[in-house]
Structure 1
């Protein structure tokens, strides 16, 4: 059987994976704080038909070998944590991080999740919650009589009454990771810590590190570039067609061989 049939099939499978990734990026173009995904590919094991550097005579060696590649495989789908643009809003509790930090979300199972989505609001009990209804770590609650709030660059939340007198406060500490690309995505704009990400470090911009500062009245847009994704989509389509053509050509060659 011709190896080209299998090799081209792996190429088509790889391009299907690439299209899945591109489609996911485009689908989340308007998702707050979304980070672009990127498929990474690896060539498969080689058939060693002639060893490089092998003896061609008693006193000479081969300058090259003969290694037949067997196709491609999707090795990983990584995430680019490049900063997205900040968009101004009119919501008091729309918060964006200008830096590398993450908001900390308290999950129902007691664990902590992490997000770049700062679209927060106040629930019926006055507690500050995420768009999915989960409270922030630390439990910030609106003070009785408060009609407005300010959030400082370091995450200090101050509730004010009608006379602009402080009536309560809270603190949002951010989390940072040595390898944010190693975080495990769980949906709803949330990530969980993993061995690859390392343990979180918590703090704010005043303590140094990669936490970043908080911007009140802003949200972070997705970092997906539409033009780049459309170019990738076209390249993926062309590569898929070429691999399909390779299978058709191999099939035609086998048909010719069967006629002999």
Structure 2
């Protein structure tokens, strides 16, 4: 027995206690991954010239500190910017110095400029979504949402109406009485406002202008469309003209052969000079029906909106960030990016819940939540540390006994050496 074995054992036990203590200290750290000390024996036969099987060994060394990337529990917080990864992958960050880092801690914040950041100021990366097409970009950029300025208004270009026109309705012009034979009972004209609805459209400055739509039955399965009523009080009197015709088949289904209808809306409610240009709005009536039921408007939508302030965001399981604005618009603005590695245990921990790429981890592979090997995201939740406190406390007692035992070997060796020195 030599002092070297005991000293190496003390060092190994001390390193083990360091790792266990670090795990216990971070048991409440969001996204923390536990580590374990892994040891290897030292054999001195090749140095001392001993043949195999006759060496007592030279002690122990710390082979590596291995990170354990098992899934941590999910803690529901209710905070909209808290995000947990359930499965594989890391959030991609851009550190203040511009370098890339990766984390499992999703306790994000929004700073005064609208950027989504971590507690130490790193920017969270994602894919921007085109608000017009709804398609996400293929390159990652720092996530940011407008907090100091409203989103710009959008010009209305189309109106989509879903409604039912009563198939039992009489002709709008009415039927005059006839003496016959056979006698015909007079049917009064139907007021044009009987089958009408309205919707606001928006000009380039986001000022709303109401648009009225009226439907008057012209003949069997045929209706005329108007955007105004007659005005007998005007001088001269105004007689509204039809802006189009809608026909249905014998089953009450919209006839796809109908000609397209375009409204020309004058934004009369906008007082600016020079006046804002007239709005050309395509009217989509393809979802209309003519059944024997009461006139009913099921849905009436247009694609414009006024300017609006950001009110809140909601994050989906695939990382899509839906932003809600004060003008009633809810749209996809971005998608959180995830990154994975061939060997996550090869990542280098740099503190602040972050890891960076190393030669052992492999190159980073960007992707989106729910695809391939990437896990899904849970908004309003955080991934807890995967440290098992009970196991760590047991490991600590074992490491303590190991330290005491190695100290005892040194003490025993000292007693042996003292006996040899005191021989007479």
TM-score (structure 1 length as normaliser): 0.90
Which of 334, 345, 357 aligns to 1:193? It is 357
* Preserved CA contact (<8 Å) 1:39 1:74: yes
How many residue pairs end up in the alignment? Answer: 245
Which of 42, 45, 48 aligns to 1:44? It is 42
Unaligned ranges ≥5, structure 2: 126-140, 151-308
* Whole-Å separation in 2 of the counterparts to 1:254 and 1:194: 48
Which of 27, 30, 33 aligns to 1:32? It is 30
Question: Which structure features the higher share of helix residues?
Answer: 1
Which of 131, 142, 145 aligns to 1:142? It is 145
* Preserved CA contact (<8 Å) 1:176 1:211: yes
Report the alpha carbon displacement of residue 205 of structure 1 after superposing the two structures with TM.
Answer: 3.3
The residue aligned with 2:419 is 256
The residue aligned with 2:377 is 214
Unaligned ranges ≥5, structure 1: 53-64
* Preserved CA contact (<8 Å) 1:93 1:120: yes
The residue aligned with 1:59 is none
* Preserved CA contact (<8 Å) 1:11 1:243: yes
Query: Residues 1-260 of structure 1 correspond to what in structure 2 (within 5 A)?
Result: 3-47=1-45, 51-52=51-52, 65-137=53-125, 138-143=141-146, 144=150, 145-162=309-326, 164-166=328-330, 169-208=333-372, 210-260=373-423
1:98-145 C-alpha deviation (Å, 9 max, x unpaired): 011100111122211000000001110111111212111222222331
Report the alpha carbon displacement of residue 207 of structure 1 after superposing the two structures with TM.
Answer: 3.1
* Whole-Å separation in 2 of the counterparts to 1:128 and 1:205: 18
* Whole-Å separation in 2 of the counterparts to 1:247 and 1:164: 76
* Whole-Å separation in 2 of the counterparts to 1:74 and 1:192: 23
Q: Evaluate the alpha carbon distance shift between residue 206 and residue 232 of structure 1 in structure 2; reply closer, same or farther with a 3 A threshold.
A: closer
TM-score (structure 2 length as normaliser): 0.56
* Whole-Å separation in 2 of the counterparts to 1:247 and 1:172: 56
Give RMSD over aligned pairs: 1.5
Q: Evaluate the alpha carbon distance shift between residue 164 and residue 91 of structure 1 in structure 2; reply closer, same or farther with a 3 A threshold.
A: farther
* Preserved CA contact (<8 Å) 1:100 1:176: yes
